[in-house]
Amino acid sequence: MTAATVTVPAVKPGADEGRIGLRANLRHIGALVRRNALQIKQDPQSMMDVLLMPVIFILLFVYVFGGAIAGKGNQHGYIQYLVPGMMAMMGMNIAMAVGTGVNEDFRKGVMDRFRTLPIARSSVLIAKIVVEIGRMLIAIAILLGMGFLLGLEIKGGILALLGAVALATAFGVALMWIFILLGLSVQTPQAVQGMAMLVLMPLQFGSSIFAPTRTMPGWLEGFTEVNPLSNLADAARALLNGQGAVAHPALITLGWTVAITAVTMPLAVAKFRKKT
């Protein structure tokens, strides 16, 4: 399969990243987004995780674990609990693909070609994130669609739903910078996936995504309280169900989002400049 090509709008020879204007940066990002989108078009199988993961997970947890967690015959109540929590999970799973994609592009020499172009180094990584945001929103839309088919009700209204999606997307973008940094730091895509799973599993299952934390041992319940996924799930749940505290978990989630981005984004860009 032939790799997608991209034509990046030219800037003056010798221009460095610090002298590239905002308009030129946006043009470069747009061109790179198109290149990444064309890659997906040429390899539609790369969308299988986005299309199937929400369906498989919601069916698995509702009908296999839902009766045990929420009580037999109470699957409808569990859907109201599970779907908002899974919105938090979607961002983390999609974010992992960014790290493996960046790592694979370096192994193929694609990134070396980009670094010879007179474009902002950050534009290459931002374009990756823009495309992954689109994939994330598709996954969340499929998740909500499956939820509606199984009886999900948005009791908080459309604005609350949009707020939950925006919160999940913002946190997912912050996680992408972590996985981009990881993808730039290890040697192979398999190593990215292996290390990512070591982080994903405890954060996902040691949270309030799938089950109320009050059923957990005291030491684990303490971990879930500081787990950002728990706060994101609780905020999304309160927004969609129209009840419960929203401000506190939402503010904590936004705090984690800003902190993670502020630390990992500059590190990822610096690593991208220096990686050989």
Is 34 domain-assigned?
Answer: no
Percent share of the chain, pLDDT over 90: 30
Is 150 domain-assigned?
Answer: yes
Is 29 domain-assigned?
Answer: no
Whether this model's pTM surpasses 0.85: no
Burial of 223 per CB tally in 10 Å (0-12, 13-18, 19+): middle
Residues 146-177 have pLDDT tens digits of: 999 998 999 989 999 999 999 999 999 999 99
Using an 8 Å Cβ cutoff, are 261 and 117 in contact? Answer: no
Residue 263 lies in domain: 45-274
Is 37 domain-assigned?
Answer: no
Q: How many residues does the chain have?
A: 276
Is 82 domain-assigned?
Answer: yes
Structure tokens at 94: 């999609």
Is 28 domain-assigned?
Answer: no
Is 118 domain-assigned?
Answer: yes
- The answer on pLDDT for 212 being more than 50 is yes
Is 8 domain-assigned?
Answer: no
Our count of domains for the chain comes to: 1
Higher pLDDT, 241 or 28: 241
